[in-house]
Amino acid sequence: METVFTRTPTFKDCPTHYCPGCGHGIAHRLIAETIDELDIRDRTIGIAPVGCAVLAYDYLDVDMIEVAHGRAPAVATGMKRTNPDKIIFSYQGDGDLAAIGTAEIIHAAHRGEQITVIFINNAVFGMTGGQMAPTTVLGQITATTPQGREAAGEGFPLQVSELLALLPGAIYVERCALSGAAGIRKTKKAIKHAFELQVGGAQGFSLVELLSPCPVYWRMTPAESMEWIEKEMTKVFPLGRLKG
């Protein structure tokens, strides 16, 4: 029988705590595969966010740190500046990166820090119970937008990647979706490219945004979630390369 799936060594062989149908597990696997393919495990340092992925170090078998909410890009700056030979990546959700950590992400990109950021956008705060995120789409019902998000008073969904792509310090910004086999293949390519840039010493900041399903707080089945990403989320967050 043909082997269709082999575990990549950097992805630990243990069950994750994520909900069924969650995108985090897939994103972790793609990062682990990239690290193994580029053979950089012994010089990679990962940064886990505050959010559902706070325990990412339980699944990714590289040196890792867990940091204050939103501060990952600043922590990454401290690491990379003092260790230019190491590969530094941060893994951040939309609360972490697009709400509390906007200053840190913008300025890390602005300074052109040579780090790789994986940005998980699932349009909701997962860990704290499904509250509105800056990336929540209009009309979306969350714990803190019971009538659905309204532009007046709650603002439009924040397109952080578009903002970051404007900065000269950012050399590569791409948005992908963790939906369907094709989407996941594209995502893998993008993640790998972002890491390759850093490995090759490219002078600047790279970020890959992943539209990622959160079936629990979207109140959908995993299959409906995939469809919602493709039909609704991509309208507000169009896929593709924004920079580089």
**Using the rule CB under 6 A, which residue among 133, 197, 216, 233 binds ligand SF4?**
216
**Using the rule CB under 8 A, which residue among 16, 36, 38, 86 binds other proteins?**
86
Cβ distance to ligand SF4 smaller for residue 88 or 216: 216
**Using the rule CB under 8 A, which residue among 3, 6, 82, 147 binds other proteins?**
82
**83 binding other proteins? (CB under 8 A):** yes
Residue spans of beta strands (DSSP E) within 94-177: 116-121, 170-177
Contact 114, 201 (CB under 8 A): yes
Question: Which partner in other proteins, ligand SF4, none is near 174 (CB below 5 to 8 A by kind)?
Answer: none
Q: How far is the CB of 123 from ligand SF4 (least distance, A)?
A: 10
> Tokens representing 86?
């190491």
- φ/ψ region of 219 (left if φ > 0, alpha if ψ in -120 to 50, else beta) reads left
**78 binding other proteins? (CB under 8 A):** yes
**Using the rule CB under 8 A, which residue among 62, 97, 173, 176 binds other proteins?**
62
Question: Which partner in other proteins, ligand SF4, none is near 78 (CB below 5 to 8 A by kind)?
Answer: other proteins
> Tokens representing 213?
């399903």
What Rg, from alpha-carbon coordinates, does the chain have? 17
Q: For helices 72-82 and 102-110, give the axis angle rounded to 10 degrees.
A: 30
Cβ neighbors of 37 (< 8 A, separation 6 or more) are 192
**CA distance readout (Å), 63 to 28, 151, 195:** 14, 41, 16
- Point out which residues bind other proteins (CB under 8 A): 41-45, 47, 54-55, 57, 61-68, 71, 74-79, 81-83, 86, 103-104, 106-107, 111
Give the binding site for ligand SF4 (CB under 6 A): 18-19, 22, 24, 52, 122, 126, 214-217
